[in-house]
Structure 1
Amino acid sequence: MNILIHPTYFPNIAHFVAMVKAEDITFEVDDNFVKQTYRNRTYIYGANGKLTLNIPVIHSQKNRQKYRDVKIFNDENWQSLHWKSLLSAYRTSPFFEYYEDELRPLFELKADYILDFNLTCFEVICNCLQLELNILKTETYQKTVEDKTDFRHLVNAKKEQPKPFETYTQVFSNKHGFIPNLSILDLLFNEGPNALNYLESQTLASQ
C-alpha cells in the first residue's frame, strides 16, 4: 500500500499505524496551512487528562500560506514549556529515561519552519522505534489522488473520530481511564521497545 499523509508534530497513533503498514509513504508538503490541525499540535496524557502541546506559528497576512512556508513564532518559549509538560506527564513512565537523551535536544533546537521541525522530530522518533520507512514528498498539490491511499484527513484534529485502538497502560489511566490516539510519545514512554509491535497489531479504518 502506498499512502499520502501529512508530517505532523509528534504524530499520533493513527498516523503511525497508517505508516507502519505502508510500503511507500508520501508526505504532503504542498498544501495550504490550516489552523487547529496536527500540523502544529499534539496531545499527551497529563495529570489532569488530555493535554494539548501547540507550536505557535507566524500567520501570514495573506489568506493562504503553504505548509512548507509557515514559520514558527520563536519569541515564545514554547519548547521549554513543552519539555516541562513532558517531564511532568511522563517522568514516572517506564521508558522515559530510556529515550530522554534522544528527545531532549529537539526542545533546544531552534528551527525556523514548522515543517522542517516536524520532519526532524519524525526522524528522531523513527530512530527510537528502530523503524525504517520509505519516505517521499509531494512536489505539487493534488486534491484527489488515484495511485495512493489518501490519509490526509487524519491531520484534522477537530474532525477526529474515535479510533478503536487496543488499550495499553498509561501513567494516569487509574485517574482518567484510557485515552486513545495520543501522540506517539505517549506510546513510546509507556511501551518502550514494544511500541512498534503495538503499532503493527492495530487496524485503521479508511475514511
Structure 2
Amino acid sequence: MNTLIHPTYLPNIAHFVAMVKAKHVVFEMDDNFVKQTFRNRTYIYGANGKLALHIPVIHSQKNRQKYRDVKIFNDENWQSLHWKSLLSAYRTSPFFEYYEDELQPLFHKKAEYILDFNMTCFEVICDCLQLELNSSKTKTFQKTVEDKSDFRYLVHAKKERPQPFETYMQVFSNKHGFIPNLSILDLLFNEGPNTLNYLESQTLAPL
C-alpha cells in the first residue's frame, strides 16, 4: 500500500501507524499551509493533562502560502520552551534518558522553514525507532489521488477523530487517565524499544 501523508511536527501516533503499515510513504510537499493543523503543533502529556506545543510561524499577507515557503518565527524562544516542556513531562519516564541525546539538538539549532524542520524531526525519530521507511516526496499537488491511500486528513488538529488505540503506561496516567494519540515521543519515552511493535499492532479508525 502506498500512503500519502503530510509531514507534521513530532507526528502523533496515528501518523506513525499509517506510515509503518505502508509499503511506500509519499510526503505531501506542495500543498498550502493551513492554520490549526499538526503542521506546526503537537500534543504531549504534561502534569496537568494534554499539553499543546505550538511552533510560531510567519504568516504571509497573501491569502495562500505554500507549506514549504512558511518560515518559523524565531524571535520567540519556542525551542527552549518546548524542550523544557518535554523535560518536565517525561524526565521520569522509563526511556527518556535513552533518547535524550538524539532529540535535544532539535531544540537548540535554529531552523528557518517549518517543513524542513518537520522533516528533520521525522528523520531523527526514525533513527530513534531504528525504522527505515521507503519514502518519496510529491512534486505537484493533487486534490484527489487514486494510486495511494490518502491519509492527509490526519493533519487536521481540530477535526481529529477518536482512534481505537490500545492503552500503554503514561507518566501521569494515575492523575488524568490514558490520553490517546499524542506525539510519538509520548509512546517512545514510555515504551522505548517496544514502540515499533505497538505501532505495527494498531489500526486506524476508518474514514
Kindly state the Cα deviation for residue 61 of structure 1 after the two structures are TM-superposed.
0.3
Equivalent position SS for 1:204: coil
Q: 1 CA distance for matches of 2:12 and 2:129? A: 14
Q: 2 CA distance for matches of 1:104 and 1:130? A: 18
Kindly state the Cα deviation for residue 205 of structure 1 after the two structures are TM-superposed.
2.8
The answer on 1:13 being equivalent to 2:10 is: no
1:68-147 equivalence runs, <5 A: 68-147=68-147
1:166 corresponding residue in structure 2: 166
Q: 1 CA distance for matches of 2:177 and 2:206? A: 26
Q: 1 CA distance for matches of 2:201 and 2:26? A: 22
After TM superposition, the runs of 4+ consecutive aligned structure 1 residues lying more than 3 A away are none
Identity of aligned residues (%): 86
Whether the aligned pair in 1 keeps the contact of 2:162 and 2:205 (CA below 8 Å) is no
Kindly state the Cα deviation for residue 121 of structure 1 after the two structures are TM-superposed.
0.3
Equivalent position SS for 2:203: coil
Unmatched runs of 5 consecutive residues or more in structure 1: none
Kindly state the Cα deviation for residue 177 of structure 1 after the two structures are TM-superposed.
0.2
Equivalent position SS for 1:147: coil
Count of paired positions: 207
Q: 1 CA distance for matches of 2:76 and 2:160? A: 28
2:175 corresponding residue in structure 1: 175
Give the letter aligned to residue 41 of structure 1.
R
2:44 corresponding residue in structure 1: 44
2:190 corresponding residue in structure 1: 190
Unmatched runs of 5 consecutive residues or more in structure 2: none
**TM-score normalised according to structure 2 size:** 0.99
Equivalent position SS for 2:154: helix
Q: Note the aligned Cα RMSD (angstroms).
A: 0.5
Equivalent position SS for 2:93: coil
Whether the aligned pair in 1 keeps the contact of 2:27 and 2:138 (CA below 8 Å) is yes
Give the letter aligned to residue 32 of structure 1.
N
Kindly state the Cα deviation for residue 109 of structure 1 after the two structures are TM-superposed.
1.4
Give the letter aligned to residue 85 of structure 1.
S
